[in-house]
Amino acid sequence: MDNDTTVFVLLDFSKLGEVQIIYLSFFLILYLMTVTGNLLIITAVVFDHHLHTPMYFFMMNLAMQDIGSVSVIIPKAVLSFLTNIRHISYSGCIAQVLFFVFFLACDVSLLIVMAYDRYIAICYPLRYEMIMNRKAWTKVVGSCWTASFLNAILHTTATFTIPFCSNIINQFYCEVPYLLKITCSGLYGAEIGMVMSSSTLAFGCFVLVIVTYVQIFSAVLRIPSVQGRKKAFSTCLPHLIVFSLFLFTACFAYLRPISDIPSHPDFITTIMYSIYPSMMNPLIYSIRNKKIKAVLSRFVGLRLFHFKEV
């Protein structure tokens, strides 16, 4: 089976120690928290017309991407643990890489767009509605989806046109660096180029976000109200921290040398960029938002009242 490259064999959690139940519980908790938090955001934005604005529209799209990215990898990992079947088909691995890269690229694109949206709202408040009109923000999100999907197709094609000399993937999903590790030596130049170009693009995105937030913080410091400054900083700083954590751990995961033996640090690094941001985004961008909380409280209250009446 180890030489059958039409089927890949994913990580055996027992190799990371006799703590399988802990890993299963960990994955389930992360998945339920991520899906629940993001579904609440989607529900609030869809059912309340007061939230049909650019900022909340971006939040809803980000929530959709976050659910998609974790749903591509966690259910398979949980199923593999429960059934002790660690195999994934060649086509299944292709699909996993395609959709995971797609959702990840969408996340980065939307986080940049959200930073720009806050920049316009804070630095040019009088021109905000003219710049961020419905037609503009619909086109922006559509462009994010389209560009991310094209990027995912290129990334996936570059990965799977390379012959594989093994089928053992020392990771709980088909992660590109671990797939490169098992390719035949000297035949992965195209994908290395893709990884380097993606890392360069990611660094450019990081610089763009930093420049945007420097402008935002400069404007915030000119706000006369202490409460206003505190509110702006409490919103922007967590965004910047999670975005930075996501980009740095993702670049580290893709650019570091891959060891032949699975380890806890490798596992944690992968979690930090592939799952943790999707779980934290609802808490940072939405759940702490007063309007979102008000809508969710009203929605849940109405549902409970209806249930009692029935």
13: Cα within 13 Å, side-chain hemisphere: 22
pLDDT bucket at 116, cuts 50 / 70 / 90? confident
Collapsing DSSP to helix, strand or coil, 88 comes out as strand
**Nearest by Cα to 282 from 34, 107, 73:** 34
pLDDT at 245 over 80: no
CA-based R_g, the chain, Å: 21
**pTM recorded for the entire structure:** 0.84
pLDDT at 94: 94
Quick one: how far is CA 51 from the chain centroid? Answer: 23
Q: Give the CA distances from residue 111 to residues 55, 58, 138, 158, in Å, rounded to whole numbers and listed in that order.
A: 11, 9, 15, 26
Higher pLDDT, 209 or 236: 209
pLDDT at 309: 43
Question: Is residue 297's pLDDT more than 80?
Answer: no
Centroid of chain to Cα 98:
14
Say how many C-beta atoms besides its own lie within 10 A of residue 34's C-beta. Answer: 25
Q: What is the pLDDT of residue 308?
A: 46
- Tokens for 186, please give them: 């000297």
pLDDT at 26 over 70: yes
CATH of domain 7-309: 1.20.1070.10
Distance CA 108, CA 247 (A): 9
Which of these, 307, 290, 299, 278, lies nearest to 63 by C-alpha position?
A: 278
Sign of CA dihedral 77, 78, 79, 85: positive
Alpha helices in 161-225 (DSSP H): 176-181, 189-221
Least confident of 127-136, 139-148, 214-223: 214-223
Structure token digits, residue 179: 């797939």
Distance between CA atoms of residues 155 and 109, nearest Å: 16
Two tokens, residue 99: 């959709």
Kindly report the number of other CB atoms within 10 A of residue 306's CB atom: 9
Q: Given a cut of 60, is residue 274 above it in pLDDT? A: yes
Q: What is the pLDDT of residue 285?
A: 67
Spatial CA neighbour of 159 closest among 186, 188, 201: 188
Q: What is the mean pLDDT of the chain?
A: 79
Residue 35 — very low, low, confident or very high, per pLDDT cuts 50/70/90?
Answer: very high
